[in-house]
């Protein structure tokens, strides 16, 4: 089996048993832990806005999780009630990144990734409310149909681009490619959800470790530019 094959997104007959009981509900201790994490993160946000729901989404709420998959915990709030002078989504994303720099939280070895989402823009795909302890949108195992040929083709294109840019040691080109890759994934998620080809390509590249290599190279060059 090639390294590329091992990076392809996994497909499982059941949800991750570390987190899920009979693939139907979260283990009680997992649910309690997520409540505690969400409470700390909500206090860290420091905004007088109602918390409408707490939802688990992404690969760990689906059949395509892998050893690289985070547990995505979304705090659902009405953006319209946030009083600030900058775009609300940008503000919460900055807060999220700052929180991530300061914390390394896992549940049974699965990293927990925090997000703040707008009540008017529900996440596509499977979602589980830990407030009501029930599925809002159940995962569908029949959706886990991946066109491996097309996936490999897209991965190869991105691998070649990333290798070329990293070898160039051109910081601007690296940052541009990083932004393009993130937009590539973001647009697909909004349009087609968790199983969008572009999202599976992104996850496979992450599993291969090349996204981490790109981010590391960007960080090194930034530090060099700031040094004298």
With a CB cutoff of 8 Å and minimum separation 6, the contacts of 17 are none
Same-domain status, 52 and 131: yes
Same-domain status, 199 and 132: no
Same-domain status, 57 and 108: yes
Residues 75 and 54: beta-carbon distance below 8 Å: yes
- Given the structure tokens 């932004």, which residue do they identify? 179
What residues make up the domain containing 178? 146-226
Same-domain status, 115 and 206: no
Considering only CA atoms, which of 157, 228, 163, 170 is closest in space to residue 197? Answer: 157
Task: Provide the residue-wise pLDDT of the chain in tens; the chain has 228 residues.
Answer: 455 555 556 678 899 999 999 878 999 999 999 999 999 999 999 888 999 999 999 889 988 888 878 999 999 999 999 887 778 888 898 999 899 989 999 999 999 999 999 999 887 788 999 999 999 999 887 765 667 788 888 889 999 999 999 999 999 999 999 999 989 888 887 777 777 888 888 888 888 888 999 999 999 999 998 898
Residues 124 and 189: beta-carbon distance below 8 Å: yes
Residue 88 token pair? 């609300």
Q: How many other CB atoms are there within 10 angstroms of residue 161's CB atom?
A: 14
pLDDT tens-digit readout, 1-55: 455 555 556 678 899 999 999 878 999 999 999 999 999 999 999 888 999 999 9
Whether the full predicted model's pTM is greater than 0.85, yes or no, is no
Same-domain status, 195 and 102: no
Whole-number Å distance between alpha carbons of 201 and 147: 11
Same-domain status, 38 and 136: yes
Residue that is last in its domain, among 99, 123, 142: 142
What is the total count of domains within the chain? 2
Q: Residue 48 has what pLDDT?
A: 86
Same-domain status, 108 and 154: no
Same-domain status, 180 and 103: no
Average pLDDT, rounded, for the chain: 88
Residue that is last in its domain, among 97, 127, 142: 142
Residue that is last in its domain, among 142, 175, 199: 142
Considering only CA atoms, which of 93, 51, 56 is closest in space to residue 76? Answer: 51
């Amino acid at each position: 089996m090639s390294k590329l094959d091992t990076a392809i997104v996994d497909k499982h007959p059941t949800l991750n048993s570390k987190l899920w009981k009979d693939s139907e509900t979260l283990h009680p201790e997992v649910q309690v832990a997520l409540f505690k994490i969400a409470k700390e993160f909500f206090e860290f946000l420091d905004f007088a806005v109602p918390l409408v729901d707490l939802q688990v989404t992404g690969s760990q709420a689906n059949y395509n999780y892998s050893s690289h998959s985070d547990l995505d915990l979304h705090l659902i709030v009405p953006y319209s009630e946030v009083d600030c002078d900058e775009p609300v989504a940008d503000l919460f994303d900055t807060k999220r990144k700052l929180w991530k720099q300061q914390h390394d939280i896992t549940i049974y070895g699965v990293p927990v990734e925090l997000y703040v989402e707008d009540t008017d823009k529900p996440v596509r795909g499977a979602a589980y409310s830990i407030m009501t302890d029930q599925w809002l949108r159940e995962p569908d195992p029949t959706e886990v149909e991946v066109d491996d040929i097309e996936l490999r083709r897209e991965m190869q294109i991105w691998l070649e681009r990333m290798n070329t840019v990293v070898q160039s040691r051109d910081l601007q080109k690296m940052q541009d490619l990083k932004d393009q890759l993130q937009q590539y994934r973001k647009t697909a998620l909004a349009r087609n959800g968790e199983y969008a080809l572009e999202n599976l390509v992104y996850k496979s590249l992450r599993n291969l470790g090349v996204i981490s290599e790109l981010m590391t190279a960007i960080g090194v060059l930034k530090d060099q530019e700031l040094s004298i």
